[in-house]
Structure 1
């Protein structure tokens, strides 16, 4: 079983269909060709973006057949098989496997909320019926079923349950959420997130995958964003990970101002950075955040200096910045 298909950027395209729910297989094939060409890591067919809940089983099978033909093995294809009944999900899973899908995305049975025992039984039954790796679709917004850590831990130990697609945490702390899930689930269990505004935080926090609806429409920018994760980690300054860290521009240039060490430290939090004192001259950073050329307002040696928080691979640094020492009368006016 290949668990690696649940890593990286997974693009979830729309499923073009008529008002009567008939899938336009030619349009679907064209959409998938763009995703393959852009280099996404996997394609999520018939997810919520792909209106799986509103298509007849026969149309879902047509969509799977068309997708397998269009992708032709060039990119892993993950097929959504969620439905209102366990036997229906088993039938869709077997059909997807027979047609050549690489993995499955399975939501809990909804409408009448099942108990945790019933949810586990649902996943266990589908997992037993197919040899394809399954990604648990944890989407309480639509299913009204909350999969807690204990249940996810039990599911992660089923033989063919390989991953989970999580919503972003309500408090926004993806790192803490991810650490808690890692502790509760099997060692080789893949954890990914969805909701496109959280792409960068989730990937930087160490998520195995990001499941993106935007990537299904605009794959190239999302591939670039996901690919920048490694660069961002290498370039990420200490101020991003430690609440108390020297203000990078001023710490490296205080010698030119006549000071050996900065007298204040900037917080890594953007709101604190906006008005944080940067050096012994009480210079203050630009209030608007972020900017390409953020710097301090005190003297010439502080102009056009980039704060380390803005040293992002997608925001090019301003090259050739010259550091000029202040004259004595300029320093006295700032002390």
Structure 2
């Protein structure tokens, strides 16, 4: 896939109140393809918003380069870049109608009224707000205001749309609905989206690729499945969804399986490929990778939480060690204090090599 946006060795640091320097971007390199939905994901302070602002031109890099469609962005001011941004606050003009908010940039650019009105109507229809152009932002719901901000951003047909946590102010149901609508809109527009969030569910739901960041650096880039099932390190494994991490020592190899044990005596089965007796690795199993069975890891249910169709279960292994997180079907019928056995498929185990 040809790169629309090319970022190479981007660096940006800030002076701290104590007089030191904080590296917000520390050698970040990233390619984004045309019509690709890329999410920058990470905890607060990881550099994702700084990177977004640098792409838009609102932040100046200390070093590195950015090119869009082969053109150098470094010296271009924000208003000269073929990029638009949807902010967390939406930044709508309350005294203007929805139609004027959406068409304001065209109005300032001197686009004739008839052309402007046609483009505004088209943009509002794309975001599901046809017929609401005469309303003011205060007369709309939170989800509708968010769509107005989207319509305003796409009306100029940018090559790249930047979204800075635009769903954070919405309630859970509306946020989930807008996740699906955003992905559908991106696909229909045929332009690239770069989306900033700290919400793992948003990233997994919408993204073609996820960029996991920490302390100004990229920890891993991959598809949602790759990030979730094959995390590169412990940070990514723990940041993306719930997980169980088991430091184990390989005891023996039996055919396609390696048998390993934790320091407390919990036995696990791993894929044998690449393993050798005596090595110490970390085995990763997601809560859905365990099933209740007639034999396996013996433990006691310390907590069972009803989640509707599922049960979230914490199991304390009889051998000792940390509790194991398990998601089972609601019809499992287990209660707190019950003795259970946990089975797992070794093919579902992801192994982190020792550091």
TM class by smaller structure: 0.3 to 0.5
TM-score by length of 2: 0.39
Name the structure where strand makes up a greater proportion of residues.
2
TM-score by length of 1: 0.41
Name the structure where helix makes up a greater proportion of residues.
1
